[in-house]
Structure 1
Amino acid sequence: MNAMTPLVGEPLAIDLVNTLTAEGDLLQDPAALGAWLALEAERLPGFDTAADRAALDAVRSVRGHAAAAFGALAEGRRPPEPALRGLAAAVNAAPSSTRLTWDGAGVAATVRREGAAAERLAAELAQAAVDLLTDPAVAKLRRCGAEDCVMLFVPAHPRRQWCSPERCGNRVRVARYYERRKAGR
């Protein structure tokens, strides 16, 4: 796995925050945003992977607010008020309406957002951040245990230490192995 390949599989808001890595910004241009949207297509259906500059700017703004809020929580601090206001503003910039329909077996809900594509995308991502911030699972939020990693994750298992066993876990284990071998000489 390339160190510059986005990690996916955490809650959507954490996947977004984790596009800003110690190695650099994985959303450096509209094409990179489009590639990330393709990786997240199941969770963000209906968003065009041919992103433009307006979408990139809107997503980066949401990411900044979410990173500030989640980073503070991971360090046991209160999320900054400007970050919370920024997330709320992004959600409210593309108001949603819900339509309920009967499909013969159950009720289905369809949520539609109003506004430009960039605002709708930012609102969906900001809503994902709000949903996680208000979920009790946010109390489990942790930063990767590797010294040079800034990734966040919500562990499914309490002993999980790294953002990814393939990315940081293996690297840390190999470094420890070489340290022990060097010390044993």
Structure 2
Amino acid sequence: MSDALPVTGEPLALDLINTRTSAGDLLATPPALGRWLALEADRLPETPEKITGRELEAVRALRDHTARALDHARRGRRPPKADLDALNRLQRAAPVVSELSWQDAMVTLVRRRLGSPGERLTAWLAEAAAEFLARPDVTKVRECEADDCVLLFLPAHPRRRWCSAARCGNRARVARHYQRHKTSGPELS
């Protein structure tokens, strides 16, 4: 698995933070953001049809605020007020409304956000970040133990050490195997 591909499957806020890797920024361009949003589409109520530089910069700023707030919260420390204020402001930029309609002989309720597509996108992502930061298990977030990895994960098992068993876990196992056989292998004259 390439480091240029995003790791997904963690809470949405962690997946967003994890788009900054040791290999670089996986959200460097509007098309890159579009590809990431496509990977996360099942967790977002909607995504903009066209991603502009403005949406890209808003999402990257949101990612930075979320990363700084999480860095503090996972250590049991108060996140910077500016970062919490920014997350709140981004949510308010596209307020949530609950709309009633009649479908299949019953009243249905649908939550949606007001605002431009970009405002709605950042508001949904800011809401996911806020919900994650408020979880009691936020203090369990860990950094991958691989030497060249900066990704974060929320371990489902206390012995989990890597962001991905297929990515960093395999590399670590291969490196250990190589070291064992290199030091215990036959001596060449």
Counterpart position of 1:71: 71
State the alpha-carbon separation in 2 of the partners of residues 97 and 142 from structure 1: 35
Q: Deviations over 1:104-130 (max 9, x none)?
A: 698754211111111111110000000
Separation in structure 2 between the aligned mates of residue 175 and residue 8 of structure 1, nearest angstrom: 24
Q: Give the 4+ runs in structure 1 shifted more than 4 A.
A: 100-108
The corresponding residue for 2:32 is 32
Report the TM-score, using the length of structure 1 for normalisation: 0.91
Q: Report the counterpart of residue 82 of structure 2 in structure 1.
A: 82
TM-score normalised by structure 2 residue count? 0.89
3-state SS, counterpart of residue 63 of structure 1: helix
Please list every run of 5 or more consecutive structure 2 residues that lacks an aligned counterpart in the other structure.
Answer: none
What's the RMSD between the two structures over aligned residues? 2.0
Q: 1:146 to 1:133 in 2, by over 3 A?
A: same
**Residues 87 and 130 in structure 1, CA contact (< 8 A), matched pair in contact too:** yes
Instruction: Classify the secondary structure of the residue corresponding to 2:146.
Output: coil
1:141, 1:155 within 8 Å by CA — same for their partners in 2? yes
Query: 1:178/1:51 Cα in 2 relative to 1: closer, same or farther (>3 Å)?
Result: same
What letter matches 1:62 in structure 2? L
Highest Rg: 1 or 2?
2
CA deviation string 1:3-59 (max 9, x = no partner): 110111111111111001111000000000111111111111321353111110110
- Residue 88 of structure 1 contacts residue 126 of structure 1 at CA under 8 Å; is this kept in 2? yes
Q: How many residues align?
A: 185
- Identical-pair percentage: 51
1:127 alignment counterpart: 127
> Following the alignment from structure 2 to structure 1, what is the Cα–Cα distance between the partners of residues 157 and 164?
13
List alignment gaps of at least 5 residues for structure 1.
none
